[in-house]
């Protein structure tokens, strides 16, 4: 099923449908918008027919200077069975040749009141968001001091309970149990919650609670970029956990690698505080302050100085 159709664009941006009503269910498969200036001049060798075609004042002014038989030819070539839609900006008058050619192949012809540049940017932003790659991850997503922290781990390890404690400490819940992740741009992942479970937390023994109702609108957020992943796992006595913080593990989602920490869970550990501090420490690393690295350099310096004294 298509993620975005021409009908979605009509409803979202209040576009006027002038022709091609039979084609409003055509899928839009790319966020790129084409302004067919070269095509208006007759160059169709590399015509990107699968893009939305946007005609502004420049294209239509040039089009009006052409002879009638050329106008018909250009519009027939512009309207193909692959073209999702042709949009006219600035409420400009639509050429009759376009209406006729579009009707023959069922290409929707739409009109907008917005200026051309603004319409391009608005459409592009919307399509990039809707057409972005998406996957679902089992976990909890929390906004901690403006950083998106994805908490993962096996079922029953305490993810939701930790999220509840973090919300009580003033942080904001984005999603519980299922986190929808989109790669909107290269190197940028954005997480959100499925609409069905938005603002809800499942606490074993307590049931489902509505975080926004209990703690207010400031305790939730609709979406957030993901900066850090914290994986909770039951304490394994045989496993050697990182004690200095020098080992940097990452998790790859689509083409993006996100820093990942593994936090062992056992009675007596305050996971909310640990994750909160992990977020603050990550922010310091971004600012160039790495406590583990500084300690390693100090230790190296002490060892070197000791060797010099022995010599």
Q: Is 245 annotated as a binding residue?
A: no
Q: How many CB atoms lie within 10 A of CB 79?
A: 27
Q: Is 263 annotated as a binding residue?
A: no
14 is an active site residue = no
User: CA–CA separation, 66 vs 69, rounded Å?
Assistant: 8
Q: What are phi and psi of 277, to 5 degrees?
A: -65, -35
Q: Is 155 annotated as a binding residue?
A: yes
User: CA–CA separation, 109 vs 265, rounded Å?
Assistant: 59
266 is an active site residue = no
Strand boundaries in 186-268, DSSP class E:
188-192, 200-203, 207-210, 223-225, 228-234, 249-253, 256-265
305 is an active site residue = no
User: CA–CA separation, 201 vs 155, rounded Å?
Assistant: 14
Q: Which of 159, 172, 182, 227 is catalytic?
A: 159
Q: Is 202 annotated as a binding residue?
A: yes
Q: Is 156 annotated as a binding residue?
A: yes
185 is an active site residue = no
Q: Is 65 annotated as a binding residue?
A: no
Whether 246 contacts 296, CB under 8 Å: yes
Q: Which of 12, 25, 138, 204 is catalytic?
A: 138
Q: Is 190 annotated as a binding residue?
A: no
Q: Which of 238, 239, 243, 266 is catalytic?
A: 243
User: CA–CA separation, 110 vs 172, rounded Å?
Assistant: 41
Q: Is 239 annotated as a binding residue?
A: no
User: CA–CA separation, 224 vs 229, rounded Å?
Assistant: 13
User: CA–CA separation, 250 vs 117, rounded Å?
Assistant: 39
Q: Which helix (H) or strand (E) holds 285?
A: helix 271-286
Q: Is 154 annotated as a binding residue?
A: yes
Supply the angle between the helices 68-78 and 96-105 in degrees, to the nearest 10: 40
Q: Which of 82, 90, 177, 285 is catalytic?
A: 177
User: CA–CA separation, 75 vs 144, rounded Å?
Assistant: 54
Whether 110 contacts 21, CB under 8 Å: no
Residues carrying an active site annotation: 138, 159, 177, 243
| Residue ranges of the binding site | 153-160, 202
The annotation places the binding site for Mg(2+) at 160, 202
Annotated binding site for ATP: 153-160
């Amino acid at each position: 099923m298509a993620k975005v159709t021409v009908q979605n664009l009509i409803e979202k941006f209040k576009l006027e449908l002038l022709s091609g009503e039979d084609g409003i269910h055509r899928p839009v498969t790319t966020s790129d918008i084409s302004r067919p200036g070269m095509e208006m001049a007759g160059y169709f060798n590399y015509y990107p027919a699968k893009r939305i075609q946007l005609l502004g004042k420049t294209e239509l002014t040039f089009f009006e200077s052409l002879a009638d038989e050329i106008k018909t030819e250009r519009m027939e070539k512009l309207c193909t069975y692959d073209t999702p839609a042709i949009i006219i900006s600035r409420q400009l008058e639509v050429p009759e040749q376009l209406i006729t050619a579009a009707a023959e192949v069922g290409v929707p012809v739409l009109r907008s009141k917005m200026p051309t540049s603004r319409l391009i940017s608005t459409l592009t932003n919307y399509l990039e968001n809707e057409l972005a790659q998406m996957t679902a991850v089992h976990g909890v997503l929390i906004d901690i001091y403006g950083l998106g922290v994805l908490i993962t781990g096996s079922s029953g390890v305490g993810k939701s309970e930790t999220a509840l404690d973090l919300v009580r400490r003033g942080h904001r819940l984005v999603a519980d149990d299922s986190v929808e992740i989109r790669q909107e741009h290269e190197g940028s992942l954005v997480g959100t919650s499925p609409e069905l479970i938005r603002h809800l937390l499942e606490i074993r023994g307590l049931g489902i609670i509505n975080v926004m109702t209990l703690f207010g609108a400031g305790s939730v957020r609709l979406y957030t970029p993901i900066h850090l992943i914290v994986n909770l796992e039951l304490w394994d006595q045989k496993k050697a956990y990182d004690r200095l913080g020098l080992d940097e593990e990452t998790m790859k989602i689509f083409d993006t690698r996100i820093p990942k920490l593994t936090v062992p869970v056992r009675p007596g550990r305050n996971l909310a505080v640990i994750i909160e501090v992990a977020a603050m420490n990550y922010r310091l690393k971004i600012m160039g302050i790495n406590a583990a690295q500084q300690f390693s350099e100090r230790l190296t310096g002490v060892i070197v100085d000791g060797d010099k004294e022995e010599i």
